[in-house]
Amino acid sequence: MSAPAARRSRQARVVWGDRVVTVGGDAPVRIQSMTNTDTVDAIETAIQIRELAQAGSEMVRITVNTPEAAAAVPYIREQLDRMGENVPLVGDFHYNGHRLLTEFPDCAQALSKYRINPGNVGKGDKRDKQFGQMIEAAARYDKAVRIGVNWGSLDQELLASLMDENNRRAQPWDPRQVMYEALITSAIDSARLAESMGLSGNQIILSCKVSGVQDLISVYRELSRRCDYALHLGLTEAGMATKGTVASTAALAVLLQEGIGDTIRVSLTPQPGEARTQEVVVAGEILQSLGMRMFVPSVTACPGCGRTTSTTFQELAKRIDDHLRAQMPVWRLRYPGVEAMRVAVMGCIVNGPGESKHADIGISLPGNGEAPAAPVFIDGEKAMTLRGDNIAEEFHAIVDQYVQRRYGAAAA
Ligand code: SF4
């Protein structure tokens, strides 16, 4: 297996209290997420931030769009601090960020990073002035900044000038190529401008988000070639459920495998009733599948087939997966290394014992017509056989005991 290539970017420090989340350089690829609550509702927002952080989000972005939202930010921070949740907050600013960061210094201070969209900081001669006010706040409070360009809100003046330039070419580029160039130029020129205004280049993270997989890959390959700023990756408006998950995975996996990307976000549209934390789960799975980071013990489950027509095996696989994820906020602290544990839940004797032996702990359930017994394998050896109606509960307990015995020792 070829290891991801290394693109060594500068390293930003996103800080809250004693918590420092490094981005870029030798830091692991970080996971970000964003709330979808009304920021003015500080309690609801703090609760969702906590859920996202506990699911594995290392930074959480919140909308800061009105004076009321800006006024709520310090209160949200206070609520999180009281809950012992020191995840850094990122403020998402559009149109009026210069005013909000100037008029609400407590908000500017409570955030750990500002997201600035150069496509909507202002028009004409106001643009640089208003951009400068935001950069000045970042420099004053020692905050990191993400200069986040998005093709849905691209700087129209820049795009028009690049179009004009293109029309003057003997062989004009494809319009899509001009759009790529506008995204990249907007990001890099804005970063250079921020540096000229006094912000350290290390504290600048860039993103150029588009909603097409091939577009994203092309843009980031070129962006990464042209600068050494840390890069935030994400497919914007990825969509819902399977489509959003697959499109994000396809785009991010290609770039991450090439060593491009220092933070990621999976912009899923939650389905009705679906937890916001799903985007964090998917982001973690992308990094874990690529072997870049470990977040939760992995559950290997066979797809099932005609040899196991009962639902017991699917239910057990789901219950174990849910149980492991639910335990992780506590286990992460109490049992170092548990995230690398491998659990197998298999449907019948064909591959069940073999796969279970390769896992740290595995169970092979009886398929159709097999004896009603489920052998459990621990560290490659058959340890016991479960029978009866409580196989799921008993296997849960065996997994918990295994975690305590194996990983509790590491913490002692
Ligand atoms: S392990 Fe058994 S039940 Fe699972 S896919 Fe293979 S043959 Fe089918």
- Residue 125: pLDDT band (50, 70, 90) is confident
CA proximity to 342, closest of 274, 382, 389, 402 = 402
pLDDT at 305 > cutoff 60: yes
Same domain flag for 286 and 400: no
Distance 188 CA to ligand 1 centre (A): 52
CB atoms within 10 A of CB 278: 18
Are 377 and 323 part of one and the same domain?
yes
Cα dihedral 118, 183, 14, 237 in deg (nearest 10): 100
**312 and 278 within one domain:** no
Residue 412 pLDDT = 62
Task: Give residue 364 CA to ligand 1 midpoint distance, Å.
Answer: 10
Q: What is the CATH number of the domain that holds 337?
A: 3.30.413.10
Write out pLDDT tens, residues 314-361: 889 999 999 999 999 899 889 999 999 999 999 988 999 999 999 999
Q: Is 355 annotated as a binding residue?
A: yes
Whether residues 282 and 354 fall in one domain:
no
**pLDDT of residue 2 exceeding 70:** no
Q: Which of 101-105, 306-310, 324-328, 351-355 has the highest mean pLDDT?
A: 101-105
pLDDT given for residue 137 in this prediction: 98
Task: Verify that 271 and 306 share a domain, yes or no.
Answer: no
The amino acid at residue 32 is Q
Give the pLDDT mean for 185-195.
97
Query: How confident is residue 124, by pLDDT bands cut at 50, 70 and 90?
Result: confident
What's residue 240's pLDDT? 81
Do residues 268 and 309 share a domain?
Answer: no
Phi and psi for 370 in degrees, rounded to 5?
-85, 160
Last residue of a domain, one of 257, 290, 323: 290
- Mean pLDDT across the stretch 154-170? 93
DSSP element (H, E) containing 342: strand 342-346
Of 266, 290, 314, which marks where a domain is finished?
A: 290
Query: β-pairing, 268-269 with 204-209?
Result: unpaired
Please report whether residue 281 resides in a domain. yes
Q: Is 348 annotated as a binding residue?
A: yes
Asked if residue 353 and residue 225 are part of one domain, the reply reads no
* pLDDT of 309 above 80: no
How many angstroms does the Cα of residue 285 sit away from the middle of ligand 1?
24
Q: SS3 for 270?
A: coil
| Mutate-to-test residue for ligand 1 from 348, 363, 370, highest number of ligand atoms within 8 A of CB | 348
Distance 137 CA to ligand 1 centre (A): 59
Q: Give the mean model confidence (pLDDT) for residues 95-108.
A: 98
**Per-residue pLDDT tens over the stretch 256-274:** 999 999 999 999 998 888 8
Q: Predicted confidence band at 411 (pLDDT cuts at 50, 70, 90)?
A: low
Q: Is the pLDDT of residue 105 over 70?
A: yes
| 285 shares its domain with 363 | no
Same domain (yes/no): 274, 308:
no
For 175, the token pair is 């319009």
Q: Are residues 239 and 348 in the same domain?
A: no
Given a cut of 70, whether residue 10 has pLDDT beyond it is yes
pLDDT of residue 3: 56
Confirm whether 4 is domain-assigned: no
- Out of 290, 308, 334, a domain closes at 290
In the prediction, which pLDDT does 4 show?
59
* Mean pLDDT value across the chain: 94
With a Cβ cut-off of 6 Å, ligand 1 is lined by 302-305, 307-308, 346-348, 350-352, 367
- Name 155's Cβ contacts closer than 8 Å, sequence gap at least 6: 118, 119, 149, 182, 186
Q: Does 99 lie in the same domain as 203?
A: yes
In a domain, 3, yes or no: no
Whether 1 is covered by a domain: the verdict is no
The DSSP secondary structure of 2-36, one letter per residue, reads PPPPP----EEEEEETTEEEEEETTSPPEEEEE--
Q: What is the pLDDT of residues 201-242, one digit of tens each?
A: 999 999 999 989 999 999 999 999 999 999 999 998 777 889
Residue 349, H or E segment: none
Whether 178 and 307 share a structural domain? no
For atom 7 of ligand 1, which residue has the closest CA? 350
Q: Which CATH number covers residue 148?
A: 3.20.20.20
Ligand-binding site membership of 227 (annotated) = no
- Over 70: is that where the pLDDT of 410 sits? no
For residue 65, tell me if it sits in a domain: yes
Q: Per the domain annotation, does 344 fall within a domain?
A: yes
| Domain carrying residue 157 | 9-290
pLDDT tens track for 270-304: 888 889 999 999 999 999 999 999 999 999 999 98
Q: Would you say the pTM of this structure is higher than 0.85?
A: yes
- Closest atom, ligand 1, to C-alpha of 351: 1
Number of domains in the chain: 2
pLDDT over 90 at 1, yes or no: no
